[in-house]
Amino acid sequence: MRAKEIILLIFIILAGVTFYHARTGKLDDIGFFIDDYFIFSAKEFIYEELQEIEPPFPPHFQVINAHGDIEINGTDEEKITITFRKNIRRINEEKAKEISEKIKMIIHKNTNQVTLSTNRDELRRKNFETHFKVFLPKSMDVKVKNSYGTVKTSNVGNTDITNRHGKVIASDIYGELILKNSYRDVEVKNVRSDLHLESKHSTIFVSYIKGMTQISNKYGKIHMENISQAVKVDGPHTEIFGQNLAGPIEIENSYKKIALYEVGPTKIIGHHSKVGVHGAKGYLDIKDNYSKVEVNNIRGNLLIDGKNLDVLGKRIIGQEISITSSYRNVRLSEFSGKTTISLSHGDVVLEPSPLTHPIEIKGKYTNIRFSWPLQGPYPFEARAKNGDIKWGLPDELSLEEENGVSTIKAFLQEKDKPSILLSTSYGTIRIED
């Protein structure tokens, strides 16, 4: 027989066996499962049990589960109430009821902890889900281990959640929150203490955290709002948004956008990351490359260091402004502070506020356009090697040319005012009124 005929014969035999078991209600006796689920359609049957635990209670409550949802709510009542729901997929109700009787809720209580679990591992075929809904005193600490289901907690104490491949919703946590998951969304709101969150391939929303926040997420999104203490984010290939973050803030990511609004002292390390910071108090330290940085309404020192980095800044007031880049442009307006800019193979455009500190620009293969600030004059010097200087002010100046270097000087008698030094090579300097 040829190979195609052999394959066709095997397929016909398998189809016949499947049809026979389906008609006789024995489909669950053969191995047509993928990841514990039926390949072929089956009906879902639901069974519920209720259990109540009376005090006294130990300080900790733990749930160990798999393939199901868990909801834990803190209340003012001094009792623990557990609803145990079993969602079972079988060909008929008789088969479902048979397996339901085998699935057990297990409660273990000692002086330190109440542990809630199931006997799932004892069953051969696991084409079912187990769900828990728990009400307990809101002072209790909670620990959850789950997978492939949603975990929700609210009004509880210190909380530790591990939910592999499952969504997590945690709110009104009266202590520390430790959370691990992947591939599903995370929502966290109102945590009274620290937050430690580790995920990947997830969309994360975090708000109203009163302690330190530490987030690690890969290949996803992070949205943060209203955090009153330090924030540290490690997010390679992750888009990051933050608003009303008191800081200090440390963020590191790659290849995705970072957007921050109304933040405290901030340090950003990006790689091919578009960065926007709109409203910051305290220092702003950015290291990035092969992208664009846009900052405005900054009150504090501004440090930007990168290559192939386009920089756009507006309304910056600080003691120090330092920018280093290459192969892109730097444009600043309405800025004040000791300003140092080093750029190669790009253009610099400056529109400063009245000077409070010196300005020094160094360029290579760079054009510089400088708008004269108000409340002048200021001591001024410009040097261009193998380039031109265009003086657009009506005031007199001195001009020197030697060995391909043109130098102009003006207002040198204004010794008590901040100075301006512009220098470039293979480019043009323009001074405009």
Helix (H, G, I), strand (E, B) or coil at 411: coil
Type of residue found at 57: F
Contact 59, 138 (CB under 8 A): no
The pLDDT of residue 402: 82
Type of residue found at 402: E
Dist CA 133 CA 304 (whole Å): 51
Contact 240, 251 (CB under 8 A): yes
Domain ranges of the chain: 3-30, 37-154, 158-232, 348-433
Dist CA 153 CA 76 (whole Å): 15
Point out the residues of the chain with pLDDT beneath 50: 20-39
The pLDDT of residue 169: 98
The pLDDT of residue 82: 97
List CB contacts of 402: < 8 A, sequence separation 6 or more.
none
Rounded to 5°, angle at Cα 248 from 243 and 254: 70
Helix (H, G, I), strand (E, B) or coil at 362: strand
Residue 120 DSSP label: G
Location of structure tokens 């207002």 = 411
Give how far Cα 21 sits from Cα of 28, 36, 38, 332, 400, Å. Answer: 8, 18, 14, 75, 99
- The model carries a pTM of 0.86
Dist CA 114 CA 419 (whole Å): 71
Q: Which two tokens stand for residue 211?
A: 């302690």
Where is 98: in which H helix or E strand?
helix 93-102
> Phi, psi at residue 127, to the nearest 5°?
-85, 60
- Cα dihedral 47, 53, 58, 62 in deg (nearest 10): 0
Please tell me the chain's helix, strand, coil percentages from 3-state DSSP, rounded to the nearest 5. 10, 60, 30
Residue 90 DSSP label: E
Total residues found in the chain within this entry: 433
Type of residue found at 87: N
Dist CA 241 CA 131 (whole Å): 34
User: How many Cα atoms are found within 13 Å in the side-chain-facing hemisphere of 23?
Assistant: 6
Residue 349 DSSP label: E
Beta-bridged to residue 270, according to DSSP, are 253
The pLDDT of residue 29: 42
